[in-house]
Amino acid sequence: MIQTFIFDIDGTIIDTEQSIFIGLDKILIKHAGRRATKEDMLKVFGIPGIKGLIALGFTHEEATDLHPKWSAISREHIDTVAIFDGMKATLQHLKDNHHRLGIVTSKTRESFDRSFTPFGLTHLFDEIITSSDTKEHKPSGEPLTECLNRLDVPAEQAIYIGDSIFDNLCARNADVAFGLAEWGSHTSEGFDADHIFKKPQDILSVL
């Protein structure tokens, strides 16, 4: 029986797609001579930003230099970021009914504090694992396993909810059930999900 709900952030709890895309588009125009595409976004969502830039063809040195510039541009468009409709009420319902809640994100701790904490949801979560907390990152199962260990929860009692294939693989590598946040992925094609949630309120269907 699922007792613990662990969440990705971008594309799952908050809608950051437009701000991230605008930032990536400007970076690619200036440093790669082309516009960002939907395919580019699929490559970078769900993994640390430096790894995403490397996946787009930049060297590690270039990616390390460009990542803070990308983040800075995206922050300029923070007005486009919002909590997905129904998510806050869903999280509160789970908390009020004594379920354990966690976050596993590819954001660094600094990025988490800057971009997520202002939404006022942090107090709902019992554990938060950022890319600063583990050696390996998604799609490795290590971040999710670390979260479970800190929560002292067995894998079979947890579900990881995310919107990217890297979230899916992370769950599989940690032997945890995966719930697809279809409101963020926009499709279920190519996923190996145990549950497909079309809107945040659907998460409550597994209770």
Q: What is the pLDDT of residue 142?
A: 97
Q: What is the pLDDT of residue 42?
A: 84
Q: Are residues 66 and 103 in the same domain?
A: no
Residue the block writes with tokens 């993994």: 47
Q: Are residues 9 and 110 in the same domain?
A: yes
**Please, what are the averages of pLDDT over each run of 10 residues along the chain (207 residues)?**
96 94 96 95 85 95 96 90 97 98 94 92 98 94 98 97 96 98 94 98 97
At 155, list the tokens.
């894998």
Q: What is the pLDDT of residue 48?
A: 84
Task: Check: pTM over 0.75? Answer yes or no.
Answer: yes
Q: Are residues 48 and 106 in the same domain?
A: no
How far is 89 from 199, CA to CA, in rounded Å? 12
Q: What is the pLDDT of residue 45?
A: 81
Q: What is the pLDDT of residue 179?
A: 98
Residues 6+ apart with CB under 8 A from 28: 34, 35, 36, 40, 56
How far is 141 from 144, CA to CA, in rounded Å? 6
How far is 198 from 58, CA to CA, in rounded Å? 35
Q: Are residues 173 and 71 in the same domain?
A: no
Q: What is the pLDDT of residue 103?
A: 98
Q: What is the pLDDT of residue 101?
A: 98
Domain end, chosen from 53, 80, 107, is at 80
Q: Which domain holds residue 39?
A: 16-80
Strands (E), the chain: 4-7, 14-15, 82-83, 100-104, 127-129, 158-162, 177-181, 195-197
Domain end, chosen from 80, 102, 134, is at 80
